[in-house]
């Protein structure tokens, strides 16, 4: 009678099997979709049953089309390389395209490829790896996004690698491997993947900027005390970084540049370092610096532990600073902090468009500007030019947090505010323009540096 004992278990197993077989088509579709959304699943597959493995040859006009080659000599893991040859066409433009489905809005997608890039003058300008999101409800601000992250290896080898977040309304994606305006180009793409990934989490940075100016004749010591007290006040918002203005030991004192200059570490640095350590935040401040008898207009980055972790010397000097004996800095610099990469410019640096562009090209996501006076419109333009955040702290211009569209998100100045402006910004946030898309992503891809030679001519 042992079979009677196991009969209930057989019934349960049979019921489970029947339930699995009875799964509806909709449930099976959802199950497949869930599997496809696992991490590291590539949405690009080489299909031998289709012409060119499922890829499409594309160019806007036959006259500018490159030659297309499915290069089996350059195969990787059994998948041929995709080759584009310009053939001497100065205005060449075109390449390979692939349509991917089952895109989930808000999800991350990583686009990687290895390329052999012969005859290419500029990787950034002449080679385009592009994602064009598709969907019925996408707006005009959802336009192509570009792989701007690349690493050059030995010989002609370049590795492209960037992760994007699918926007609201995205249902599919068109993946493109293109060459443009490179008559000698002979480029072969291999190991091409467009795979599911984790979307970038928010990267919040809590920024505080200070406005204060002495109403009566002051001293360097009194200035430092006043700014230190404002750092205490800003600390109530738990900032990651507090920005102070330019020349903090000179404003309102009547001191000469030489008299206001301090070595580092000096009294100002020591006071601000104590505040940075006490409140576990970065402090950035401007102060005239004297080193080996030479004067500079400098800005200093104090770490959360009260250590000096960065210094920038003003490059663009107005005539009055040059005539007072200040020497210019030699380089525009960026600094890697624990929340991201930043740049620093000082006052007159922002009157020119090149300094902010250089630091943005070097990866700066926020530019901090200790400043005396300037034009808020021009400062907004520096942020807009490069699709970056810009933070000012000044005397004759507002202390403000400006977003990549040029909008002022927080401000304090004279009768505006109480001397501390605070804003929590997200470095992963996209600022999309109609018919352009994410300007931060597009600006460096669309630049024609080959036509800008006069910019660097003396």
pLDDT value at residue 26: 58
Could you say which architecture CATH assigns to the domain 204-427? 4-Layer Sandwich (3.60)
Class assignment of domain 51-197? mainly beta
Mean pLDDT of 86-107: 97
The two structure tokens encoding residue 158? 């370049």
> Is it the case that residue 358 has pLDDT exceeding 60?
yes
pLDDT value at residue 16: 39
Range from 138-147, 234-243, 337-346, 417-426 carrying the lowest mean pLDDT:
138-147
pLDDT value at residue 12: 39
> Domain ranges in the chain?
51-197, 204-427
pLDDT value at residue 76: 87
Three-state DSSP class for 35?
Answer: helix
> Is it the case that residue 8 has pLDDT exceeding 80?
no
Range from 9-13, 25-29, 114-118 carrying the lowest mean pLDDT:
9-13
Contact call for residues 116 and 156 (beta carbons, < 8 A): yes
Contact call for residues 239 and 206 (beta carbons, < 8 A): yes
Mean pLDDT of 61-87: 95
Work out the mean pLDDT of the chain and round it to a whole number.
92
Q: 25 falls in which pLDDT band (50, 70, 90)?
A: low
State how far the Cα of 178 lies from the Cα of 144, in Å rounded to an integer: 13
pLDDT value at residue 88: 98
Q: How far, in Å, are 59, 96, 176 from residue 66 at the CA level? A: 8, 10, 14
The DSSP secondary structure of 317-383, one letter per residue, reads --HHHHHTTBPPPS---EEEETTEEEEE--GGGGGSHHHHHHHHHTT-SEEEEE-SS--HHHHHHHH
Three-state DSSP class for 439?
Answer: helix
pLDDT value at residue 2: 41
Q: 5 falls in which pLDDT band (50, 70, 90)?
A: very low
Cβ count near 411 (within 10 Å): 18
**Distance, C-alpha 365 to centroid of its chain:** 5
pLDDT value at residue 23: 53
pLDDT value at residue 18: 36
Q: How far, in Å, are 123, 124, 130, 184, 185 from residue 90 at the CA level? A: 16, 17, 21, 8, 10
């Amino acid at each position: 009678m042992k079979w009677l004992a196991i009969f209930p278990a057989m019934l349960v197993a049979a019921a489970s099997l029947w339930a699995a077989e009875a799964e509806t088509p909709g449930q099976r579709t959802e199950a497949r979709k869930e599997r496809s959304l696992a991490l590291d699943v590539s949405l690009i597959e080489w299909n031998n049953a289709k012409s060119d493995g499922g890829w499409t040859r594309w160019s806007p006009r036959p006259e500018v089309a490159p030659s297309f080659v499915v290069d089996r000599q350059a195969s990787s893991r059994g998948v041929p390389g995709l080759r584009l040859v310009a053939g001497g066409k100065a205005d060449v433009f075109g390449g390979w395209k692939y349509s991917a489905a089952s895109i989930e809005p808000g999800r991350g997608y990583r686009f990687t490829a290895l390329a052999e890039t012969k005859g290419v003058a500029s990787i950034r300008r002449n080679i385009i790896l592009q994602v064009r999101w598709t969907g019925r409800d996408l707006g005009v601000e959802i336009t192509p996004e570009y792989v701007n992250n690349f690493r050059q290896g030995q010989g002609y080898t370049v590795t492209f690698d960037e992760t994007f977040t699918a926007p609201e309304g995205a249902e599919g994606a068109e993946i493109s491997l293109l060459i443009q305006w490179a008559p000698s180009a002979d480029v072969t793409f291999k190991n091409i993947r467009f795979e599911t990934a984790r979307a970038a989490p928010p990267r919040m940075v809590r920024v505080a900027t200070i406005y204060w100016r002495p109403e009566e004749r002051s001293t360097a010591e009194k200035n430092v005390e006043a700014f230190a007290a404002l750092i205490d006040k800003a600390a109530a918002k738990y900032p990651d970084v507090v920005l102070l203005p330019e020349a903090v030991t000179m404003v309102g004192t009547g001191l000469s540049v030489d008299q206001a200059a301090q070595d580092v570490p000096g009294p100002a640095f020591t006071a601000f370092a104590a505040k940075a350590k006490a409140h576990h935040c970065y402090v950035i401040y401007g102060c005239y610096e004297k080193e080996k008898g030479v004067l500079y207009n400098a800005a200093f980055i104090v770490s959360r532990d009260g250590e000096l972790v960065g210094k920038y010397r003003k490059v663009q000097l107005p005539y009055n600073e040059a005539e007072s004996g200040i020497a210019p800095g030699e380089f525009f610099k960026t600094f890697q902090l624990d929340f991201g990469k930043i740049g620093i410019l000082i006052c007159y640096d922002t009157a020119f468009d090149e300094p902010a562009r250089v630091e943005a090209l070097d990866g700066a996501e926020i530019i901090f500007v200790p400043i005396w006076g300037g034009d808020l419109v021009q400062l907004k333009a520096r942020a807009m030019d490069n699709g970056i955040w810009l933070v000012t702290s000044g005397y004759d211009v507002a202390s403000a947090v400006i977003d990549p569209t040029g909008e002022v998100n927080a401000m304090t100045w004279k009768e505006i505010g109480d001397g501390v402006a605070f804003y929590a910004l997200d470095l992963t946030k996209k600022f999309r323009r109609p018919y352009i898309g994410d300007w931060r992503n597009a600006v460096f891809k669309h630049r024609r540096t080959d036509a800008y030679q006069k910019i660097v001519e003396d």
